[in-house]
């Protein structure tokens, strides 16, 4: 072990904050100038929303060890709550309704997290499905949530913050980027704090965590609340900035699985992992359809595309679980270390 | 409301619910088989069910005789079972159960995609030659098809129990379920046993797929019946075939009764989540489920 660390310690170690700051500078300063509207609409906006959802789920599943199959329900709760707060509360600014929406999602998260106090593992995973079905049912059943719109599909409000409208693809991108950056930063602080360590302790050994004095029940519910808050806000981004409509159908079980896949592929218990995973999940179907169309031509219609996407995605999951259980993050770190080392030795 | 309570109608709903519960149990048994022997919650069971039904229907539609199609489909399910053992389970031996669960989630995507890529996405009708004419028993109308399904389920449970109890390979299933390492140590062949279990689960998937397929038509939504079986499993315990049966009956009955008697207060359509709530409330009171072993991962 020591040999390995010694080997690399001679490589120049940059301060930890350099990479995120450079990345943010690039995302704010360069991307809006060079990106096409396709890049924003089809790639960056869904990427940002799903990354944030992945960060949220990673706190619950990766750090606190509670598997949830109901993430899309919390996204839906967030999106609809934000819509209704903004619609019904006079004079409430958008930021206020987004925060309130996160709190609503967190409250729902606590309710559906209650079974975690008595159930573990598969039993808990299955019981989180209750959230998925109940929330989706409630949102379709009671037209009050969608303001009695006949189709159940509603236009999201304009992204207006203290008089400044985040219009157009670039504007919505900047809005999403800002929200995602802030919450990701907070999540990063959280997981390296006492609370974050408590999550990990509960994941690794619940009995031991209890012995050293961690309030297990409270901490578990806190994990559910924080995770649902973040996922709820991700739902707002998804509906308001990416789709610009709010509809329950988009938040189905497949979406929940998608978010789970993001953190498996990206890397469990890693904030960066959610971004890696989301990037792959968003880009891969687009790439596959391009590649399929190029190689097979007309045979590759939308039905075939859909099915082959499912097959390749499933295969990817299994491959990652077998070959790289720590996800793309581990892969990335290894490649970077190797490159640095190679660069050092020349 | 109480005064003019229609008992006959109540019993009709109850019986209908119990019989549809049998259909849930059929799916749940497939899960239990695999969980018992390998400790994996096999989410791909629904995909297997879809694959079996779709393969069978497509073969029959291409002029293959009924019996031959049945045998061919079963052979294919066995091949899939062996392939899964080789490519997915073996590399993941000794990994935490939740990792294996996620692997089966990926597996379900592959199988669903492959089933529809091979056989197409259109809806197929499936006629098993059983008329779905209601039968009158003591003034209560019962679907003939449901009774047939119940008989098939009972036969399958009997067969599985005999298999587990009296055959050599069935005994080794139980040994593996008890203690994987001890079973390996006395020389049981784990790969062979797992492949057999997955083949058995494939058989259960085939039977359940045909019955559900005759009910709903063979199409993608067939793989969603897993979502109906999961609360049954939570209620009955993942490792008990008896639990799967009793849980299925309980869930089926309470779901139908709730839909008929209290559904209107919620605006209807509550069957998508009601079963989960029943299972959860029950578990909050009795965390080890109906028949599940206490030592399973529950507080």
Does residue B112 form part of some domain? yes
A136–B99 C-beta distance less than 8 A:
no
Q: Which residues pair with B137 in a beta bridge?
A: B140
- Which residues of B fall within a CB distance of 8 Å from A115? 280, 283-284
Contact between residue A278 and residue A51 where contact means Cβ atoms under 8 Å apart: yes
Least confident range from B63-72, B74-83, B158-167, B173-182: namely B173-182
- Which residues of B fall within a CB distance of 8 Å from A260? 102, 105
CB atoms within 10 A of CB A186: 14
Does residue B253 form part of some domain? no
Burial of residue B133, with CB atoms counted within 10 A of its CB: 0-12 exposed, 13-18 middle, 19 or more buried: exposed
- Which residues of B fall within a CB distance of 8 Å from A307? 113-114, 116-117, 121
Chain B residues 83-112 with CB within 8 Å of chain A? 87-88, 91-92, 95, 97-99, 101-103, 105-112
Burial profile A202-212: b = 16 or more Cβ within 10 angstroms, e = fewer: bbeebeebeee
Contact between residue B95 and residue A302 where contact means Cβ atoms under 8 Å apart: no
Q: What is chain A's mean pLDDT, rounded?
A: 87
A118–B234 C-beta distance less than 8 A:
no
A7 pLDDT higher than 50: no
Rounded to an integer, what distance in angstroms lies between the CA atom of residue A248 and that of residue A72?
10
Interval A57-72 mean pLDDT: 93
CA A140 and chain centroid, separation:
24
- pLDDT tens digit sequence for A218-233: 999 999 999 999 999 9
Count the domains in chain B: 1
CB-CB: which of A133, A307, A314 is closest to B276?
A133
Quote the tokens at residue B201.
């689960």
- Which residues of A fall within a CB distance of 8 Å from B95? 321, 325
Q: Which helix (H) or strand (E) holds A42?
A: none
A209 vs chain B: nearest CA distance in angstroms? 14
**DSSP category for residue B85:** I
Chain B residues 122-161 with CB within 8 Å of chain A? none
- pLDDT tens digit sequence for A133-143: 999 888 888 87
Does residue B262 form part of some domain? no
**For the range B63-72, what are the long-range contacts, defined as Cβ-Cβ under 8 Å and sequence gap of 24 or more?**
B70/B206
Find which of A65, A72, A73, A126 to mutate to test the B interface (most B CBs within 10 Å of its CB).
A126
User: Tokens 């030659």 map to which residue?
Assistant: B129
A98 pLDDT higher than 50: yes
Best CA proximity match to A187, nearest among A231, A122, A146, A144: A231
Top CATH class, A2-345 = mainly alpha
Find which of A64, A71, A123, A145 to mutate to test the B interface (most B CBs within 10 Å of its CB).
A123
User: Tokens 């059929």 map to which residue?
Assistant: B26
Helices in B120-167 by DSSP H: which ranges? Answer: 144-166
Rounded to an integer, what distance in angstroms lies between the CA atom of residue A82 and that of residue A240?
9
Find which of A252, A307, A326 to mutate to test the B interface (most B CBs within 10 Å of its CB).
A307
Find which of B105, B107, B112, B231 to mutate to test the A interface (most A CBs within 10 Å of its CB).
B105
- pLDDT tens digit sequence for B244-263: 889 999 999 988 888 888 87
- Which residues of A fall within a CB distance of 8 Å from B46? none
**DSSP category for residue B225:** G
CB-CB: which of B97, B113, B273 is closest to A130?
B273
A313–B117 C-beta distance less than 8 A:
no
Does residue B45 form part of some domain? yes
Rounded to an integer, what distance in angstroms lies between the CA atom of residue A341 and that of residue B7?
80
- pLDDT tens digit sequence for B203-250: 999 999 998 888 888 888 888 888 888 889 888 888 888 888 899 999
**DSSP category for residue A158:** P
B99–A141 C-beta distance less than 8 A:
no
pLDDT score of A61: 93
Q: At what angle do helices A45-57 and A168-191 cross, to 10 degrees?
A: 20
Burial profile A52-73: b = 16 or more Cβ within 10 angstroms, e = fewer: bbbbbbbbbbbbbbbbbbbbbb
Find which of A64, A113, A122, A288 to mutate to test the B interface (most B CBs within 10 Å of its CB).
A122
Residues with Cβ < 8 Å from B32, sequence gap 6 or more? B233, B238, B239, B240, B241, B243, B244
Burial profile B26-35: b = 16 or more Cβ within 10 angstroms, e = fewer: bbbbbbbbbb
Contact between residue B50 and residue B223 where contact means Cβ atoms under 8 Å apart: yes
Find which of A131, A133, A313 to mutate to test the B interface (most B CBs within 10 Å of its CB).
A133
Contact between residue A337 and residue A330 where contact means Cβ atoms under 8 Å apart: no
pLDDT score of A298: 67
Quote the tokens at residue B153.
């389920």
HSE-CB for A52 with a 13 A CA cutoff: 32
Instruction: Please spell the DSSP secondary structure of B98-126, one letter per residue.
Output: HHHHHHHHHHHHHHHHHHHHHH-SS-B--
Quote the tokens at residue B272.
């998508």
B287 touches A at CB < 8 Å: yes
Q: Which residues pair with A119 in a beta bridge?
A: B298
Contact between residue B41 and residue B238 where contact means Cβ atoms under 8 Å apart: yes
pLDDT band at A262 (very low <50, low <70, confident <90, very high): very high
Contact between residue A271 and residue A188 where contact means Cβ atoms under 8 Å apart: yes
- Which residues of B fall within a CB distance of 8 Å from A134? 273, 276-277
CB atoms within 10 A of CB B14: 17
Rounded to an integer, what distance in angstroms lies between the CA atom of residue A226 and that of residue B135?
54
A262 vs chain B: nearest CA distance in angstroms? 12
Expressed as residue numbers, the domain containing B170 is 29-232
CB atoms within 10 A of CB A114: 16
A216 touches B at CB < 8 Å: no
Q: Please calculate the CA angle B38-B44-B48 and round it to the nearest 5 degrees.
A: 110
Does residue B148 form part of some domain? yes
pLDDT band at A101 (very low <50, low <70, confident <90, very high): very high
B238–A127 C-beta distance less than 8 A:
no
Q: Which residues pair with A160 in a beta bridge?
A: A165
Count how many pairs of residues, chain A against chain B, have C-beta atoms within 8 Å: 134
Rg of chain B in Å (alpha carbons): 20
Domain locations in chain A as residue ranges: 2-345
Nearest 10 degrees: Cα torsion A281, A282, A284, A289: 140
- Which residues of A fall within a CB distance of 8 Å from B277? 130, 134
Does residue B14 form part of some domain? no
- Which residues of B fall within a CB distance of 8 Å from A136? 272
Q: Taking CA atoms, what residue in B is nearest to A323?
A: B91
A295 touches B at CB < 8 Å: no
Q: Residue count of chain B, please give it.
A: 299
Least confident range from A59-73, A226-240, B23-37: namely B23-37
Does residue B251 form part of some domain? no
Does residue B55 form part of some domain? yes
CB-CB: which of B103, B116, B276 is closest to A129?
B276
HSE-CB for B264 with a 13 A CA cutoff: 2
A336 pLDDT higher than 60: yes
CA B1 and chain centroid, separation:
38
CB atoms within 10 A of CB B155: 11
Q: Which residues pair with B136 in a beta bridge?
A: B141
Least confident range from A42-56, B65-79, B84-98: namely B84-98
A198 vs chain B: nearest CA distance in angstroms? 19
A314–B106 C-beta distance less than 8 A:
yes
Rounded to an integer, what distance in angstroms lies between the CA atom of residue A267 and that of residue B178?
33
Rounded to an integer, what distance in angstroms lies between the CA atom of residue B27 and that of residue B158?
16
Best CA proximity match to B96, nearest among A63, A65, A220: A65
Q: Taking CA atoms, what residue in A is nearest to B294?
A: A119
pLDDT score of B298: 41
CA A281 and chain centroid, separation:
11
Chain B residues 204-223 with CB within 8 Å of chain A? none
Greatest mean pLDDT among A45-54, B9-18, B89-98, B160-169 lies in: A45-54
A16 pLDDT higher than 70: yes
Burial profile B183-193: b = 16 or more Cβ within 10 angstroms, e = fewer: beeeebebeeb
């Amino acid at each position: 072990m020591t040999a390995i660390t010694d080997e690399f310690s001679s490589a120049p170690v940059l301060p930890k904050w350099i990479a995120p700051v450079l990345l943010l500078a690039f995302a704010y300063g360069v991307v809006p100038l060079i990106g096409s509207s396709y890049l924003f609409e089809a790639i960056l906006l869904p990427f940002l929303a799903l990354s944030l959802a992945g960060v949220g789920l990673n706190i619950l599943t990766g750090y606190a060890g509670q598997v949830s199959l109901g993430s899309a329900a919390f996204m839906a709760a967030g999106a609809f709550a934000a819509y209704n707060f903004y619609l019904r509360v006079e004079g409430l600014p958008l930021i206020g309704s987004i925060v309130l929406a996160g709190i609503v999602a967190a409250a729902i998260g606590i309710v559906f997290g209650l079974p975690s106090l008595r159930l573990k593992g598969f039993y808990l995973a299955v019981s989180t499905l209750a959230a998925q079905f109940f929330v989706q049912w409630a949102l379709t059943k009671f037209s009050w949530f969608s303001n009695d719109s006949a189709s159940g599909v509603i236009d999201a409000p304009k992204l207006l913050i203290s008089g400044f409208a985040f219009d157009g693809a670039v504007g919505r991108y900047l809005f999403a980027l800002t929200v995602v950056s802030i919450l990701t930063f907070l999540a990063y602080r959280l997981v390296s704090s006492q609370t974050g360590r408590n999550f990990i302790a509960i994941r690794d050994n619940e009995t031991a965590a209890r012995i050293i004095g961690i309030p297990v029940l409270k901490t578990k519910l806190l994990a559910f609340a924080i995770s649902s808050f973040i996922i709820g806000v991700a739902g707002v981004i998804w509906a308001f900035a990416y789709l610009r409509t709010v509809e329950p159908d988009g938040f189905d079980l497949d979406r929940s699985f998608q978010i789970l896949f993001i953190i498996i592929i990206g890397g469990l218990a890693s904030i960066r992992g959610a971004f890696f995973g989301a990037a792959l999940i968003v880009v891969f179907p687009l790439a596959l359809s391009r590649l399929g169309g190029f190689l097979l031509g007309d045979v590759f219609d939308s039905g075939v595309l859909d099915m082959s996407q499912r097959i390749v995605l499933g295969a990817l999951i299994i491959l990652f679980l077998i070959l790289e259980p720590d996800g793309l993050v581990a892969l990335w770190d290894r490649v970077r270390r190797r490159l640095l080392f190679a660069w050092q030795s020349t | 409301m109480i005064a003019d309570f229609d008992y006959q109608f109540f019993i009709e709903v109850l019986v209908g619910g119990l019989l549809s519960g049998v259909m849930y149990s059929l799916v749940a048994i497939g899960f239990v088989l695999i969980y018992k022997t390998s400790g994996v919650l096999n989410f791909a069971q629904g995909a297997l069910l879809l694959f079996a039904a779709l393969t069978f229907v497509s073969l029959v539609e291409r002029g293959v005789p009924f019996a031959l199609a049945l045998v061919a489909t079963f052979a294919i399910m066995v091949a899939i079972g062996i392939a899964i053992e080789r490519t997915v389970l073996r590399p993941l031996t000794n990994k935490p159960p939740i990792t294996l669960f996620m692997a089966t989630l990926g597996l379900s995507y592959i199988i669903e995609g492959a089933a529809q890529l091979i056989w197409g996405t259109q809806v197929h009708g499936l006629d098993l030659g059983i008329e779905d004419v209601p039968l009158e028993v003591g003034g209560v109308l019962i679907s003939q098809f449901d009774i047939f399904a119940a008989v098939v389920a009972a036969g399958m449970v009997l067969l599985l129990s005999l298999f587990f109890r009296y055959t050599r390979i069935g005994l080794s299933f139980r040994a593996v379920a008890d203690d994987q390492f001890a079973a390996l140590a006395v020389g049981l062949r784990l790969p062979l046993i797992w492949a057999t279990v997955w083949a058995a689960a494939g058989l259960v998937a085939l039977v359940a797929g045909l019955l559900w397929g005759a009910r709903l038509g063979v199409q993608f939504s067939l793989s969603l019946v897993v979502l109906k079986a999961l609360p049954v499993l939570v209620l009955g315990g993942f490792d008990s075939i008896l639990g799967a049966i009793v849980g299925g009956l309980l869930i089926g009955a309470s779901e139908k009764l709730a839909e008929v008697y209290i559904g209107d207060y919620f605006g209807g359509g509550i069957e998508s989540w009601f079963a989960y709530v029943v299972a959860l409330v029950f578990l909050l009171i009795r965390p080890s489920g109906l028949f599940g072993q206490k030592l399973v991962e529950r507080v």
